[in-house]
Amino acid sequence: MMSEPLLQAVDLECERDERLLFQNLSFSIVPGTLTRVEGPNGSGKTTLLRILAGLSDAWTGQLLWCGRPRAHDRESFYRNSLYLGHRPGIKPLLTPMENLRALMAGRCPVADEVLAQALAGTGLAGYENVPCRNLSAGQQRRVALARLLIADEPLWLLDEVFTAIDAEGVKAIEALLQQRVEEGGAVLVTTHHDLQLPGMQRILLGGGQADE
Amino acid sequence: MSSAGRTLVKPIEQGVGPLSAMLAVFSRDVRVAFRQRQDLLNPLLFFVMVVTLFPLGVSPEVSFLQQSGAGILWVAALLAVLLSLDHLFRHDFDDGTLEQLVLQPQPLFLLILAKTLAHWILTGLPLVLLAPVLGVMVHLDGNSIVILCLTLLIGTPVLSLIGSIGAALTLGLRSAGVLLSLLIIPLYIPVLIFGTGTVAAAGEGASVGGYLALMGAFLVLALTLAPFAAAAALRISMSNS
């Protein structure tokens, strides 16, 4: 039943501004699981996600991608992982359509109808050609979230996906994550929202230990 | 939100080729720039203003302008490019698109090369196209104007490329402008010296082949090395932010 872990962290340690955020942190992320990183503000959730995404190099320990050190095959890692951060990656001057097209172009280009469908799926139907700066903060995040409806990457790293999203949207994202996990995707989220999905793995930060 | 009919998750073996990814980066940058045209005009206005103010501030005599006209144009173009550099990565950094760029599977230096190329086409190339008009204004003769434009055509991409390293290095800093200038100006000096030297040599009737070849060598050097340096600098800036 257990499949090979996609991403494995061994004795991860990170120090930031001369403060130890976490040490001896070990966990593995298996396809078909949802992992939630928990901890109070400033406990290093975002830092951990940036490290896992490959944005930050300020760590020691070992990160294995499909059983091999990630540094050996960064290209395959980048191709197979999707990171959504605090900043949505949306250009305010471009329309949702253009933004989504540009974001997908380097990963898996899809037809415009698929993009429009994804935008409609996040409740942005009718806004396809409005510049994003005219949209609300929540709508801008929804543009970024529309990627999740098209993305094929087996590993998703989502930082605070529920920020600025209304209650109905939160439910929809929960359902999407649930469905993704059932399809065999691996999802790692940080959130303060009380997310409860069956079989959820938790990583607790702030005390410095991982709890599986 | 629902995604109908998606198959089971499989690893992605084959990604998008570097060329189409570069094209996507390039076209997005051009599109954004044309949505914000006043930013495109800034370096051009600066260029025109400096060159027009010089005769008024120093001397409107034809002999003086003929002698120093090429230098004035080159200095003004160099500073105009320098002023526009901070925007190269800054907006992308602030809205998070740079994070997504760094995480793309294609080699980062190629994507940065596409960004730098877009920067040159949007700032350097208009300067080159405007130079003949300003050249006439400072009484340069026809031959000097041709040579001047040629040196600017080879030189301004070098300025953009070298500038991309500085812009990437100072990305995480709050007051990046001063540091960026201090880092970049010393590297611009050789380009400036050879750029104006070529025009001066042409004015004296000497052969400019050697000068142009050297400037070409600068361009090749910058084209092959600067994107690597900028990519490394960008990863460091990202890691520290």
Decide if B103 is inside a domain: yes
- Residue bearing tokens 């990604």: B15
Return the higher-pLDDT residue of A208 and B234. Answer: B234
Number of domains in chain B: 1
Cβ-Cβ contacts under 8 Å for A37 (sequence gap 6 or more): A45, A48, A49, A188, A189, A190, A202, A203, A205
CATH number at residue A58: 3.40.50.300
Check residue A131 and give its pLDDT. Answer: 95
Does residue A212 form part of some domain? no
Question: Looking at this predicted complex, what is its ipTM?
Answer: 0.91
Q: Report the percentage of chain B scoring pLDDT > 70.
A: 97
Q: State the residue for tokens 């999740």.
A: A148
| Chain B closest-CA separation from residue A145 CA (Å) | 10
| Rounded to 5°, angle at Cα A181 from A125 and A49 | 85
The beta-carbon neighbor of A183 closest among B8, B12, B104 is: B8
> How high is the pLDDT of residue A2?
54
Q: Is residue A148 part of a domain?
A: no
In a domain, A188, yes or no: yes
| DSSP string over A109-122 | ---HHHHHHHHHHT
What is the overall mean pLDDT for chain A?
89
Mean pLDDT of the B115-136 span: 96
Please give the pLDDT value at position B12: 85
d(CA B79, CA A48): 41
> Which of the residue ranges A7-11, A81-85, B11-15, B197-201 would you say has the lowest mean pLDDT?
B11-15
DSSP B18-79: HHHHHHHHHHHHHHHHHHSHHHHHHHHHHHHHHHHHHHHHT---HHHHHHHHHHHHHHHHHH
Please compute the mean of the pLDDT values over residues B38-66 and round it to a whole number. 93
What's the structural domain count of chain A? 1
- Average pLDDT for residues B82-106, to the nearest whole number? 93
Question: Do B20 and A88 make contact, defined as CB atoms within 8 angstroms?
Answer: no
Asked if B11 and A149 come within 8 Å (Cβ–Cβ), the reply is no
Confirm whether B7 is domain-assigned: no
Q: Identify whether A139 is part of a domain.
A: no
- Distance, CA of A63 to CA of B161 (rounded, Å): 34
Query: Which of B11, B21, B32 lies closest to A91 in CB terms?
Result: B32
Q: Is residue B122 part of a domain?
A: yes
Q: Answer yes or no: are the C-beta atoms of B231 and B108 closer than 8 Å.
A: yes
Distance CA B23, CA B19 (A): 6
Whether B85 has a pLDDT exceeding 90, the answer reads yes
Task: Give the structural domain span for B210.
Answer: 19-240
Q: Count CB neighbours of B213 within 10 A.
A: 9
CA atoms of A151 and A106, how far apart (whole Å): 12
Q: Is residue B12 part of a domain?
A: no
| A79 belongs to a structural domain | yes
Q: In B, which residues are within 8 Å of A156 by CB distance?
A: none
B4: closest chain A residue by CA:
A149
| Contact: B16, A152; criterion CB under 8 Å | no
Distance from CA of A209 to the nearest CA of B (A): 24
Looking at chain B, list the stretches that DSSP marks H as alpha helix, in order from N- to C-terminal side. 18-35, 37-57, 62-85, 87-95, 97-102, 108-119, 125-137, 142-169, 176-203, 209-240
Chain A residue with the nearest C-alpha to that of B34: A93
Answer yes or no: do B94 and A87 touch at CB < 8 A. yes
Residue A34 maps to a domain: yes
Q: Do B235 and A57 touch (CB under 8 A)?
A: yes
For strand A155-159 and strand A34-38, is the pairing parallel, antiparallel, or unpaired?
unpaired
Handedness of CA B180, A90, B102, A61 (dihedral sign): positive
Sign of the CA dihedral running A21, A85, A69, A210:
positive
Is B75 part of any domain?
yes
Parent domain of A12: 7-89+153-204
Residue A77 resides in a domain: yes
pLDDT for the residue B7? 59
Please indicate, yes or no, if residue A96 is contained in any of the structural domains: no
**Distant-in-sequence, close-in-space partners of B69: CB < 8 Å, separation ≥ 6:** B135, B138, B139, B140, B144
Condensed to tens digits (0 to 9), the pLDDT of residues B156-177 reads 999 999 999 999 999 988 888 8
Is residue B5 included in any domain, yes or no? no
Q: Which residues of A are less than 8 Å from B233 in CB distance?
A: none
Are A119 and A141 contacting, i.e. CB atoms less than 8 angstroms apart? Answer: no
Nearest CA in chain B to A75: B105
Do residues B221 and B201 touch, judged by C-beta distance below 8 A? no
pTM of the model: 0.92
Output the pLDDT for position A212: 42
Residue of A nearest to B108 (CA): A75
